[in-house]
Amino acid sequence: MFPYKVISAMNVKSEARTLYGWAFRTGLKILEQLEAAYGEDGAEKRMSTLLLNLRSELLPAKFRRELTNVIIEIKPEASFPSEIKEERAWRISEFYRYSTAILAGFYDALQSWKEGKKEGGESA
């Protein structure tokens, strides 16, 4: 589906039903949209900013709201997993687990995307 190399020997297919897998796939879709709108350098900078903004959210509700706003704004045609869709508030332990999985997925997507761009530039 995506022409990017998966880093750290993580198999996205086995992670397809996890929050990390969702974040990785969504991160790649976000990067494609950002690249189309802002070019390669702009996409990398905006994704890095997105990661820093999400990482700085200390409250579960604000983290989920920021994540939802970013996805709706960029429109990567991604569905939301049940952990994000459900109306109840996250417990602190859930917040740490969910936010870590989402941030790791987005970060790995960025690294995979950059690696794919580097390899694509070398072969050209």
| Residue 86, domain member (yes or no) | yes
Here the tokens at position 21 are 């897998």
**Dist CA 60 CA 74 (whole Å):** 21
Under-50 pLDDT residues of the chain:
1-16, 124
| Residue 23, domain member (yes or no) | yes
**Dist CA 102 CA 22 (whole Å):** 8
> Whole-prediction pTM value?
0.81
| Residue 1, domain member (yes or no) | no
| Residue 8, domain member (yes or no) | no
Q: What is the domain extent for residue 41? A: 19-117
Q: What total of structural domains would you count in the chain? A: 1
Here the tokens at position 90 are 């996250």
Residue 14: per-residue pLDDT = 42
| Residue 124, domain member (yes or no) | no
| Residue 71, domain member (yes or no) | yes
| Residue 6, domain member (yes or no) | no
Contact, 54 vs 68, CB < 8 A? Answer: no
